[in-house]
């Protein structure tokens, strides 16, 4: 019933629908507040990095200017470009990353397709070895690989990082094989059966039908391979010479050549090194924002989101 107040005005009835809307509104507010907190946690390091990389020494020592810039000190970035030898090291990084990623995309997709669509003697053992390669840290394999590449006279060149990717090995190769296997395993057999009726070989079926269908998984593996090779420090430090330095190596070795300042909060930092960090991660950020939508779609289709 609709009640009546003392003034003669009618009260609206409190229905279940209005209560549900109120509850949903409160839940949405809580979710948005929680998401904002997570956003702040993830964005804080980037904001700290960018703001302090643009500071003058006077701003670093002033506690009232912790998050405020009185000007933009782009000299920090000019010094970072010079110390990093940015043009040469960026080119070396692109060569290593692009060729390694290409090798992973080709070899791991072919290996994953074979494990998913063909049953042969030892396939279970091979897949178990793939899983084992994911579990074992790459650091434990550094010494045997160092000895092997020394015998082949590959040390100091880019070959120890690039070539293994074309054989399904390299950095996180086992994980990429697993991703492709999970994707191809979920596809219907009718794709191959129809192609076989047209007289297609297994390789033709793979390159002309299955690989284009699995482009989302290719994008996921290519993105992950690019990020991991770009950020990797252990393999380049172990195998590359100073003539072939990549950005991660150069960033790790530049600390001895820079001045350090003590901020008003007692933190020891180098604005030039912070600027160098921004220059190193900037290409990755551009790649991620360009491919973000496709990358998320690929995560869903490849089964990693489950």
What is the tens place of the pLDDT at every residue in 106-142? 999 999 999 998 888 888 899 999 988 888 888 888 8
243: in domain: yes
Are residues 52 and 90 both part of a single domain?
no
Are residues 129 and 244 both part of a single domain?
yes
Are residues 60 and 112 both part of a single domain?
no
Are residues 25 and 132 both part of a single domain?
no
| CA proximity to 229, closest of 248, 251, 245, 216 | 248
SS3 for 261?
strand
> Which of 45-49, 65-69, 79-83, 145-149 bottoms out in mean pLDDT, i.e. has the lowest?
65-69
Are residues 206 and 107 both part of a single domain?
yes
Are residues 59 and 91 both part of a single domain?
no
Residue 72 has pLDDT above 60, yes or no: yes
Are residues 57 and 191 both part of a single domain?
no
* DSSP state at residue 98: H
Q: Which two tokens stand for residue 133?
A: 């390669």
pLDDT band at 90 (very low <50, low <70, confident <90, very high): very high
Crossing angle of helices 123-135 and 173-185, rounded to 10°: 130
59: in domain: yes
pLDDT in tens, 205-263: 888 888 888 888 888 888 889 989 999 988 898 898 888 899 988 887 776 556 666 55
2: in domain: no
Cα distances from 287 to residues 230, 283, 293, in angstroms, run 12, 6, 11
pLDDT band at 15 (very low <50, low <70, confident <90, very high): low
Are residues 95 and 199 both part of a single domain?
yes
Are residues 122 and 49 both part of a single domain?
no
Residue 149 has pLDDT above 90, yes or no: yes
279: in domain: no
264: in domain: no
Residue 306 has pLDDT above 50, yes or no: no
Mean pLDDT (whole number) for 35-42: 85
Number of domains composing the chain: 2
Specify the higher pLDDT residue, 57 or 55: 55
72: in domain: no
pLDDT band at 26 (very low <50, low <70, confident <90, very high): confident
Q: Which two tokens stand for residue 112?
A: 């994953």
Please, are residues 229 and 238 in contact by the beta-carbon 8 Å criterion?
no
pLDDT, residue 112, reads: 93
Q: How far apart are CA 49 and CA 26, in angstroms?
A: 35
89: in domain: yes
* DSSP state at residue 52: H
Q: How far apart are CA 212 and CA 281, in angstroms?
A: 30
Q: How far apart are CA 2 and CA 14, in angstroms?
A: 10
Q: How many CB atoms lie within 10 A of CB 87?
A: 9
Are residues 96 and 175 both part of a single domain?
yes
Are residues 233 and 119 both part of a single domain?
yes
- Helices in 118-200 by DSSP H: which ranges? 123-135, 142-151, 159-162, 173-185, 190-197
Q: How far apart are CA 193 and CA 185, in angstroms?
A: 15
For the domain that residue 96 is a member of, what is the CATH number? 1.10.3720.10
Residue 1 has pLDDT above 90, yes or no: no
Chain centroid to CA 7: 66
H or E segment at 253?
Answer: helix 247-253
| CA proximity to 153, closest of 256, 239, 230 | 239
Are residues 157 and 203 both part of a single domain?
yes
50: in domain: yes
Please provide the average confidence, as pLDDT, over all residues in the chain.
82
Using the 3D structure, point to which of 230, 253, 276 is the last residue of a domain.
Answer: 253
> Which domain covers residue 53, as residue numbers?
16-65
C-alpha gyration radius of the chain = 27
| CA proximity to 244, closest of 85, 104, 103, 100 | 85
């Amino acid at each position: 019933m609709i009640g009546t107040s003392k003034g003669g005005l009618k009260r609206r009835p409190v229905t279940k629908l209005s209560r549900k809307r109120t509850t949903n509104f409160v839940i949405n507010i809580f979710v948005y507040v929680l998401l904002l907190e997570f956003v702040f946690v993830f964005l804080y390091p980037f904001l700290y990095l960018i703001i302090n990389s643009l500071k003058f020494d006077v701003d670093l020592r002033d506690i009232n200017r912790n998050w405020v810039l009185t000007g933009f000190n782009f000299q920090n970035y000019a010094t970072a470009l010079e110390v990093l030898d940015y043009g040469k090291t960026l080119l070396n990084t692109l060569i290593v990353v692009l060729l390694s990623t290409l090798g992973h995309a080709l070899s791991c997709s072919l290996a994953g397709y074979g494990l998913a669509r063909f049953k042969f003697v030892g396939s279970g053992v091979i897949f178990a070895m793939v899983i084992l390669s994911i579990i074992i840290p790459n650091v434990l394999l550094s010494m045997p690989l160092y000895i092997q590449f020394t015998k082949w006279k590959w040390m100091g060149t880019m070959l120890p990082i690039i070539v293994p990717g074309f054989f399904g090995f390299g950095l996180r190769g086992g994980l990429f094989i697993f991703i492709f296997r999970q994707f191809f395993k979920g596809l219907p057999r009718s794709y191959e059966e129809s192609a076989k009726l047209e007289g297609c070989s297994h390789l033709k079926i793979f390159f002309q039908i299955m690989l284009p269908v699995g482009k989302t998984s290719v994008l996921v593996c290519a993105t992950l391979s690019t990020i991991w090779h770009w950020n990797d420090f252990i393999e380049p430090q172990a195998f590359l010479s100073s003539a072939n330095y990549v950005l991660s190596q150069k960033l790790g070795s530049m600390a001895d050549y820079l001045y350090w300042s003590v901020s008003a909060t007692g933190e020891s930092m180098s604005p030039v090194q912070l600027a160098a960090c921004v220059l190193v991660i900037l290409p990755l950020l551009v790649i991620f924002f360009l491919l973000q939508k496709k990358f998320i779609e690929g995560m869903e289709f490849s089964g990693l989101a489950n």
